[in-house]
Amino acid sequence: MPPRAWRSLPSPRVPRTPRSCLGFPRGIKTSCNLYSFNGPLTSGQMSLEQVIEFCAEIGFDAVDPTGYYFKGYPAVPDHTLIYRIKHLAFSLGLAISGTGVRNDFAVPDAGKRDADVAHVTRWVDVAAKLGAPVLRVFDGRVMPDGVPKAQVMDWIVDGIQRCVTAGEARGVMIVLQNHNDALKVAADYLEIRRRIPSPWFGLNVDIGSLRTTNDPYAEIAMLAPYAYTWQVKELVYRNNKEERVDLKQIARILKDARYRGYVPIETLGPGDPKEKVRRYLDEFRAALAM
């Protein structure tokens, strides 16, 4: 072995308790949305590789490395970096459950919308190389002044549809995250899903971004049958007021929808992200096992 080569070797696999022993519903797997580590990742305190190793250490089934954390974003990373991350995850027994990018399909400038379709299409290729089954996109940052909502919805549908076509060609599903941006309520996302019926398009249900409703759990349940992935955050909102999530209700929604697949958790706000993620993973596991 060349000198110092051992330093680049991945950590040994960490024994984990099988999900069946934890009482998990069959087919539900845990993932970590790496936005949970946004602070240390953007400051350089932790590398993407170190975060992935930590997620393996505490027993996640998968990770969701958002595109922002690949060096040079929004430019497409070099294939050597993509494959290094893919190999590291594999060597640690982790799947890559998805990745995501920023985009804005609600902007009135058609040229900017076209540029964002091209941006998403380039990252479809990154997702395919990573082995990520889904690529997360947004609707748009804000509802533009003076433009009918129906027109904005047409722009969003057109942009996403073109991304879905690109995704299907590379074997990557496009998932739309409800993010409390231009669109706010479950009905809007269901309308987009109705207008894009492709099996290569689904929803990324972000439980912390349905903020204007008086019953966030009812809205989450409306979206759940169309979920291809999730973001299970620590807070939900009722009439724009935050409250701690009831994970038992989220677990019930997952089971009632007969969801099968990865459920990424995401922690935000102050505090040590390692401790926050570890604790929240334990809480989520406990809720699933009930």
Using the predicted structure, report yes or no on whether residue 21 has a pLDDT greater than 90: no
Using the predicted structure, report yes or no on whether residue 93 has a pLDDT greater than 60: yes
Residues 6+ apart with CB under 8 A from 102: 67, 68, 74, 138
- Output the pTM of the full model: 0.91
Q: What is the pLDDT of residue 20?
A: 37
Q: Where are the beta strands (DSSP E) in the chain?
A: 28-33, 62-64, 95-96, 99-100, 134-137, 173-177, 201-206, 227-233, 235-238, 241-244, 261-266
Share above pLDDT 90 across residues of the chain, in percent, rounded to a whole number: 90
| pLDDT (tens digit per residue) in 193-251 | 999 999 999 999 999 999 999 999 999 999 999 999 999 999 999 999 999 999 999 99
Domains and CATH numbers, the chain: 21-289 (3.20.20.150)
| pLDDT (tens digit per residue) in 130-150 | 999 999 999 999 999 999 999
The neighbouring-strand residues paired with 208 are none
Q: What is the pLDDT of residue 222?
A: 98
**How does residue 68 score in pLDDT terms, banded at 50, 70 and 90?**
very high
Q: What is the pLDDT of residue 205?
A: 99
**What span, in angstroms and rounded, lies between the C-alpha atoms of 204 and 201?**
10
Judge contact between 74 and 121, C-beta under 8 A. Answer: no
Cis peptide before 74 (omega within 30 of 0): yes
Backbone angles phi, psi at 91, to 5 degrees: -65, -25
